[in-house]
A and B are shown apart, each in its own frame.
Chain A
Amino acid sequence: MDAQADAGNVTASRLGVLLLAIGILLGADALLGLRFVYRLWPLLITVLALGLLGIYHKSRRRMPAFLAAGTYLLCFSVLALHCSLTSWGAMAHLWPLFIAFLGFVFLALYGIHSARRFSLLAGCLLLSLAAVFGILRFWGGQHWWTAFLLAGISILLVEKGQ
């Protein structure tokens, strides 16, 4: 119980320092009129995602929930940072990436956690789906057959690989 209480205290104090640092940065940003620091908020999600992956790695149980959440948030934070620094309007084209990230999660589960066929299939299917939506979005549906062909080939390759 003591060890866990100590860990809680460490978290509380580090959290305090983190919030203080963020406060100072935001304050400086406002004072200097830079209006830039607040755009970096996705970095907090990056830190959180890496932290979750760290917990997954340090935990003896290697719980897949941490790996999945960490991977997804990491992908999302990169996308969010890009949009935050450029324009959120890009999201109109990039939304299929949310599906692709889920595909990455399943592939990460397959590669790192346990080689279950379901994870590999789900990962490939979601990536194919994301590719389909992405291609449809970019090319206005003119080459939809290319997308479906790619998806079909990927499924066939996975099946053959088994």
Chain B
Amino acid sequence: MTPLTVIFIEPAGGVTNVFENYMRLPLLGTLYLGTILDQRGHRVRVLNENILGSLVDPFELQADVYCLTALTVSSSRARSLAAQLKRIYPASKVIVGGIHASLLPGEFTDVADHVVVGEAEGLIVDLVEGRIADRIVQGSAVAELDALPLLNYRLLEGYRGLDVVPIMTSRGCPFDCSFCTVTRIFGRRFRMLSVARIMAEIENAMECFASRSFFFYDDNFAADRGRVEELCRRILEQRLAIDWSVQARTDLARHPELVRTMAEAGCRWVYIGFESIDNDTLEALHKSQTRDDIEQAIRVFHDCGISIHGMFMFGEDHDKADNVDSTVNFAIEQGIDTVQFMILTPFPGTRVYESFVAGNRLLHTNWDYYNGMFVVFRPLNRNPLRLQQDACCAYRRFYSLRRTVLDGLRLAVNVLCDALVWNFSRAHTYRLNSMFIRGGAKAIVIQGTRVIDGYMQFLRERTEEADTLNA
């Protein structure tokens, strides 16, 4: 087969998600597919608009095949790019995949030659080489993740600029939260790389990057505790001087020994979806955790010296009127290092989305705004504008510069006193970096407030319209 030129494009989100500036990381789906095609002998480029820092110009991208990833928030850009590429290069093939394309494939059938639903590793070669003619192509879950090739990060343009290296060691999640798209794409069966393979992935990445910081993309890294334990043991045995962050659930903290081993092996941050501190809301979201679990998790992770990035969600039907305030108070009192206050977003394909559509509660389906920063539905007991304003205030309160400075001073005093009397028993709990990040996050909050201001006007108009109709 004559080698083809294949360009993968990961488009930027429609409206700035301020957290994209905080941590620029590529999705790994395109890199896996690119690596498979590269090994097959095709000429592959992977472009990520967030990492490049600018939008790609379709006129400068001549290729035989274009593969675009569409998340919900980047679906408009993906659609527009696909249409432009098809118009400029009619003889070339345009393929669209990704979460949004998998959930709503019909949105792309008029601009793409193929739309892939689900995982594409098993069919990408046939698709690119023209042995599949279907417009909508059903992918199948990769049964054996170890069979995938080691990632070729060099295919990603601008990869040298990555400070943190992403690695994905599992797919699927045994839980079934009502707002989450993970199980819709990867299923509930937890599939994972073997420990030997994860070590090979780490070594492969270390050959490619100067950075020794890794981020495990897994939606629930510690779903298999035995594997995590074995991985930590191998990292410690091989004396790999790496630090890493994971996404985990609060139930991991029921095993403090394992958390301690993770910390010793280099785990520095956990990203946890706390979602709510209200047990009724947690139950409604099928989160399988309680407020007590959250408090215990914070205590255990902090005692082991692991920083916590807590993610909370506002707008669920069971939320009480003072939910936002009490959540911010909770986050401050518990000493969570950094937080993200998201607004419940009904992503297509989720149970939340279906119930909102059935109840005619969606304010709009402009996917550009479906990134967790904007109120895109009518909350049950609240005014959408009020909810949006409260979320902004929550950020401002948590990331208050005064609070960060005071916490920094307190930390400095503790460190100096401990050093003076040689008390090293809490040396591993000092988390200087979270202070710096919180200081920097203040700038993100200011930027985010500007982005949201325009949307507030839209919500104000919608609220006035609704009031007029009611009157």
Chain B 394-426 interface 0/1 with A at a Cβ cutoff of 8 Å (1 = within): 000000000000000000001111111111111
* Contact-size category for A: 20 to 34
Task: Tell me the bound Cα distance from A48 to B264 in angstroms.
Answer: 26
One of B22-30, B219-227, B428-436, B451-459 at the interface: B428-436
Contact B417 A10 (CB under 8 A): no
User: Using a Cβ–Cβ cut-off of 8 Å, how many residues does chain B contribute to the interface with A?
Assistant: 29
Contact A55 B299 (CB under 8 A): no
Task: Tell me the bound Cα distance from A68 to B424 in angstroms.
Answer: 18
The residue of chain B having its C-beta at the shortest distance from the C-beta of A13 within the complex is B421
Contact B420 A55 (CB under 8 A): no
Residues of B within 8 A of A14 (CB): 421-423
Q: Is B96 an interface residue (CB 8 A)?
A: no
Residues of A within 8 A of B299 (CB): 1
Closest chain A CB from B213 CB (angstroms): 11
Contact A18 B428 (CB under 8 A): no
Contact A51 B303 (CB under 8 A): no
Task: Tell me the bound Cα distance from A15 to B418 in angstroms.
Answer: 9
One of A28-36, A57-65, A86-94, A131-139 at the interface: A57-65
Residues of A within 8 A of B415 (CB): 52, 55, 66
Task: For chain B, residues 196 to 228, give those with C-beta under 8 angstroms from any C-beta of chain A.
Answer: none
Contact B425 A7 (CB under 8 A): yes
Chain A 47-91 interface 0/1 with B at a Cβ cutoff of 8 Å (1 = within): 111111011001111010110001000000000000000000000
Contact A61 B421 (CB under 8 A): no
Chain A 1-16 interface 0/1 with B at a Cβ cutoff of 8 Å (1 = within): 1011011101110110
Contact B303 A1 (CB under 8 A): yes
Q: Tell me the dominant secondary structure on chain A's binding face.
A: helix
Q: Is B185 an interface residue (CB 8 A)?
A: no
30 contacts between A and B (CB under 8 A): A1-B302, A1-B303, A4-B303, A7-B423, A7-B425, A8-B426, A10-B421, A10-B423, A11-B414, A11-B418, A12-B417, A14-B423, A15-B420, A18-B420, A47-B420, A48-B419, A48-B420, A49-B419, A51-B418, A51-B419, A51-B422, A54-B419, A55-B419, A60-B266, A60-B428, A61-B268, A61-B305, A63-B430, A65-B432, A66-B415
B residues neighboring A (CB under 8 Å)? 243, 263-264, 266, 268, 299, 302-303, 305, 414-433
A residues neighboring B (CB under 8 Å)? 1, 3-4, 6-8, 10-12, 14-15, 18, 44, 47-52, 54-55, 58-61, 63, 65-66, 70
